[in-house]
Amino acid sequence: MIRALLMGTILSVSAVAYAANGDVTADGWKEVGDENGILVWSKDIEGSDVVAFRGEALIDAPISKVAMVLSDTSRKLEWVADSKAAKDIEMLSPMDRIEYSHIGTPWPLQDREFVFRAKVEVDKNAKQMLIRFSSIEDDRIPMPKGRVRGKLLKCVYTLNSAAEGAKTHLRIEILADPMGSVPKWLVNAFQRRWPFVTLTRIREQAAKANVGEHQFLKAYLDGAISDEVAQAWIQGGWKKAQAEGVDFVKFSMSAPTKEVPAKK
């Protein structure tokens, strides 16, 4: 994250049409960039030297495919800027897990690590999916020498189905502190490019033919399965699959796609 945003800030800022006095929303978000259909906003947070950033873009893929990109941890090295390692620490359910991320930084900065919880919320009526990330303490992940544990103070990905299901409007928000001795003004300069880099790479992933759709989400949003069946799958099916050591991605791809009678 740091290297990509640093280089993007230094090498590209003069070529990007960042608004010095952009539009400001009622809740304090100021438009600071508009590039390749990606809008970037910033917001000052009371009591924090770190600035929050938001990015919005239309992804040319259905919400179930974008969700698959975000759910598949093995692909995060392909789209998370400067990712050196990414893994799931614990799968609490298909909608809740603890993750680890190792982010490389340019010399002489120390690499950053993040340990966080990712929780998913789905609104079938609105055809919307939210993923909320927040840092946690976890003794299972000791701090290696020469690294710094950063903090995700707030990070939310909001996916909304668009164009009658053919596309996805994706909005990402982040308030992150890499901690350590990096000056906060430099952190803000780095992170200003984060929404653009992230949304661009998610677009690229969603365009790949070998990326499938999250079948459970697709079936649920399309109304092919009821709330009751969905909950039974999450609570019962997940536990059975977990006990059998089934891979999460394969499990998501083989989720129930039609209504089935409840067991008595």
Q: Which residues of 201-240 are buried (b: 16+ CB within 10 A; e: fewer)?
A: bbbebbeeeeebbbbbbbbbbeeebeeebbebbbeebbee
At 176, which helix (H) or strand (E)?
strand 167-177
Residue 62 included in any domain: yes
Structural domains of the chain, count: 2
Q: Is residue 112 a contact partner of residue 94, using CB atoms and an 8 Å limit? A: no
Whether residues 177 and 137 share a domain: the answer is yes
Q: By CB neighbour count within 10 A (0-12 exposed, 13-18 middle, 19+ buried), where does 101 fall? A: buried
Residue 187 included in any domain: yes
DSSP code at position 147: E
Residue 137 included in any domain: yes
Distances (CA, A) of 61 to 5, 69, 181, 211, 245: 26, 11, 40, 11, 30
Mean pLDDT throughout 114-128? 94
The encoded tokens of residue 219 equal 């079936």
Whether residues 39 and 116 share a domain: the answer is yes
* Tens digit of each residue's pLDDT (9 = 90 or more) over 45-75: 988 888 999 999 999 999 999 999 999 998 9
What pLDDT shows up at residue 87? 93
* Tens digit of each residue's pLDDT (9 = 90 or more) over 151-185: 999 999 999 999 999 999 999 999 998 898 777 77
CB atoms within 10 A of CB 142: 7
Residue 146 included in any domain: yes
The residue assigned the tokens 């927040």 is: 134
Which residue range(s) make up the domain with 220?
215-253
How many angstroms separate the CA atoms of 122 and 225, rounded? 14
Quickly state the pLDDT bin for 244 (edges 50, 70, 90).
low
DSSP notation for 179-207? -TT--HHHHHHHHTTHHHHHHHHHHHHHT
Q: Is residue 178 a contact partner of residue 112, using CB atoms and an 8 Å limit? A: yes
Residue 38 included in any domain: yes
* Tens digit of each residue's pLDDT (9 = 90 or more) over 188-201: 777 788 899 999 99
Whether residues 169 and 236 share a domain: the answer is no
Quickly state the pLDDT bin for 93 (edges 50, 70, 90).
confident
Mean pLDDT throughout 138-157? 91
Residue 102 included in any domain: yes
How many angstroms separate the CA atoms of 165 and 67, rounded? 13
Whether residues 11 and 111 share a domain: the answer is yes
What pLDDT shows up at residue 9? 39
User: Which residues pair with residue 103 across a beta bridge?
Assistant: 83, 112
pLDDT of residue 222 exceeding 90, the answer is: no
Mean pLDDT throughout 94-118? 89
CATH of the domain at 167: 3.30.530.20
The residue assigned the tokens 């809008």 is: 39
Query: What SS3 class is residue 243?
Result: helix
